[in-house]
Amino acid sequence: MAKKARVIFHIDMNSFYASVEMTYNPKLKGKPIAIAGNPEERKGIIVTSSYEARAKGVKTTMSLWEAKKLCPELIVIRPNFPRYRDMSSKIFKMLAEITPMIEPVSIDEGYLDVTDHSAHPLELAKEIQKDLLNQLEIPCSIGIGPNKFLAKTASDMKKPLGITVLRIRDLPDKLWPLPIGKMYGIGEKTAEKLHKVNIKTIGSLAKADVYTVTQLLGINGERLINRANGIDPRVVDPDSINEFKSIGNSQTLPYDTTDEREIRYVLLQLATRVEERLKRRELKGKTVQLMIRYANRKTITRSRKLSIYIDDVEEIVTIIYDLLKEHWTLEPIRLLGITVQDLLEKQYVVKQLSLFTYEEEMRKTNMKKTIEELKKKFGKDTFVSLKKPEEENKNKLLRTSFQKDFLDDYRTKK
């Protein structure tokens, strides 16, 4: 008996942040709105915008002043990430009722394997789209294909509220005529490299010589040729969100600064959030990385690999301060980031304690245990130190990283 062909959905929320804002404030519906970070404190950058704003030329990553020049009536809203995260959980909870074979890949998109679902794929897609719109007021586009690549490609073909089917037999007419830069997985630099060897359409990549493209792009070259031919063996993996390679946070400062006290404070805040996320996942890491983006947008990353696994804010921030001291050029800083890499679950971490470190480790462990017990008894803010007003304001800075570690909230959220 022939193997049943897979049926994969890629579900992509349309203008997600803007759509969420409209559900909280219906007066915004039908108006040109944009989500932009800290517009009052620096020249804001557009994070996303409604389709009414896009019709006027407003685009993601465009500067706020440029967007307002194109669309003077643009309504600008600060991002509310907790609100978006909460809506994302509701969406994936609904999708999980369709099938357990669901793989969230970001806050507003995910894959579903509906191969074994009893409903016809097209009717099922219409039902999902309708339910999300009626129950949560969130529009989405759905791509249907025999694998992840074709489903993802299909979902981008019609927005908003599109449903597109892309099968292998459709490739010559629907996919191959498109410019190579339109192919998912190919960025501007890769497209430029392919143009140099006269590969200008997805079809020309599909027919290209594997050796030539591999020489040009490395191992990714063969993978891209396969995908251009509709070949993608990746499965929908519900547990992929637990496979972390790194956990990090970055933060754009309200203004470019050379004030070391402020810089160290932001780094401490970032390290604290990274610690929280590591402990939530019961992970430890061996490499600590510092990212600095200067006022001129030049970005550097510097890291240190350790001999032991760590997850403690004190250990993380000590290394980060050392990296700052070693590598900061004293130029004004625009953005800072901290990432812990080479992760391993705590249960697999075996820490070799020498006779000289054992006593100190026990003291730290006992102290942390006592603190955690007191927090449970008196509340998590028991040990929050008093902050100056300007320090309180810093907590409101735009946090620019959205990692995967919240994407299984839908499994437990009521």
Residue numbers of the domain that contains 84: 1-166
Question: Do 56 and 147 lie in a common domain?
Answer: yes
Contacting residues for 105 by C-beta, under 8 A, at least 6 apart: 111, 407
In a domain, 95, yes or no: yes
Q: Which of 166, 198, 223 is where one domain is finished?
A: 166
Spatial separation of the C-alpha atoms in residues 411 and 407, rounded to whole Å? 9
β-sheet with 333-345: strand ranges across = 246-257, 333-345, 283-294, 299-310
Instruction: Single out the residue of 279, 286, 8 nearest to residue 142, CA to CA.
Output: 8
Check if the beta carbon of residue 235 is closer than 8 Å to that of residue 111. no
Q: Which of 238, 254, 271 is where one domain is finished?
A: 238
Annotated binding site for Mg(2+): 12, 108
Q: Which of 190, 209, 238 is where one domain is finished?
A: 238
CATH number at residue 175: 1.10.150.20
Question: Do 134 and 197 lie in a common domain?
Answer: no
Fill in the DSSP letter of residue 202: H
- Sign for the CA dihedral angle at 214, 216, 218, 222 comes to negative
In a domain, 330, yes or no: yes
Work out the pLDDT band at 65, boundaries 50, 70, 90: confident
pLDDT higher at 101 or 405:
101
In a domain, 379, yes or no: no
Report the DSSP beta bridge partners of residue 284: 344
pLDDT higher at 393 or 8:
8
In a domain, 377, yes or no: no
Question: Do 270 and 390 lie in a common domain?
Answer: yes
Fill in the DSSP letter of residue 332: P
Regarding pTM above 0.85, the answer is: no
Spatial separation of the C-alpha atoms in residues 131 and 129, rounded to whole Å? 6
Domain count, the chain: 3
Tokens 């979902």: give the residue: 155
Q: Does the pLDDT value for residue 258 go beyond 70?
A: yes
Q: Which tokens in the block code for residue 314?
A: 């004190």
Q: What is the largest CA-CA distance in the chain?
A: 71
In a domain, 151, yes or no: yes
Which pLDDT value is given to residue 402? Answer: 45
Question: Do 158 and 188 lie in a common domain?
Answer: no
109 is catalytic: yes
CATH number at residue 142: 3.30.70.270
Cα→Cα distances 154→3, 18, 19, 184, 186, Å:
23, 22, 21, 10, 16
Question: Do 246 and 395 lie in a common domain?
Answer: yes
In a domain, 46, yes or no: yes
Report the DSSP beta bridge partners of residue 302: 290
In the predicted model, what is the mean pLDDT of residues 16-31? 96
Which pLDDT value is given to residue 243? Answer: 66
Which pLDDT value is given to residue 214? Answer: 93
pLDDT tens for 34-55 read: 998 765 544 578 889 999 999 9
Which residue in 52, 109, 275, 315 is the catalytic one? 109
In a domain, 361, yes or no: no
Question: Do 206 and 312 lie in a common domain?
Answer: no
Q: Which stretch of 271-280, 338-347, 401-410 has the lowest confidence by average pLDDT?
A: 401-410
Question: Do 206 and 152 lie in a common domain?
Answer: no
Question: Do 117 and 30 lie in a common domain?
Answer: yes
Which pLDDT value is given to residue 383? Answer: 47
pLDDT higher at 154 or 406:
154
- Sign for the CA dihedral angle at 132, 133, 137, 140 comes to positive
Cα→Cα distances 171→12, 230, 231, 402, Å:
21, 8, 11, 33
- Number of C-alpha atoms within 13 angstroms, CB side, residue 188? 0
Question: What is residue 311's three-state secondary structure?
Answer: coil
Q: Does the pLDDT value for residue 81 go beyond 70?
A: yes
pLDDT higher at 191 or 396:
191
Question: Do 185 and 269 lie in a common domain?
Answer: no
Question: Do 59 and 157 lie in a common domain?
Answer: yes
Q: Which stretch of 222-226, 279-283, 293-297, 323-327 has the lowest confidence by average pLDDT?
A: 279-283
User: Which spans in 307-413 are helix H?
Assistant: 313-327, 355-378, 389-394, 409-412
| Sheet strands (E) in 150-225 | 163-165
In the predicted model, what is the mean pLDDT of residues 303-325? 93
Check if the beta carbon of residue 16 is closer than 8 Å to that of residue 90. no
- Number of C-alpha atoms within 13 angstroms, CB side, residue 60? 8
Check if the beta carbon of residue 270 is closer than 8 Å to that of residue 316. no
Cβ neighbourhood burial of 64 (10 Å; 0-12, 13-18, 19+): buried
Which pLDDT value is given to residue 345? Answer: 79
Average pLDDT, the chain: 86
Which pLDDT value is given to residue 188? Answer: 87
In the predicted model, what is the mean pLDDT of residues 387-407? 47
Which pLDDT value is given to residue 275? Answer: 93
CATH number at residue 282: 3.30.1490.100
pLDDT tens for 317-373 read: 999 999 999 999 999 999 999 999 988 877 777 544 444 444 555 555 555 555 566
Q: Which stretch of 118-127, 237-246, 369-378, 389-398 has the lowest confidence by average pLDDT?
A: 389-398
Cα pseudo-dihedral 143, 144, 146, 152, rounded to 10: 10
Question: Do 177 and 133 lie in a common domain?
Answer: no
In a domain, 357, yes or no: no
Question: Do 135 and 32 lie in a common domain?
Answer: yes
Contacting residues for 235 by C-beta, under 8 A, at least 6 apart: 113
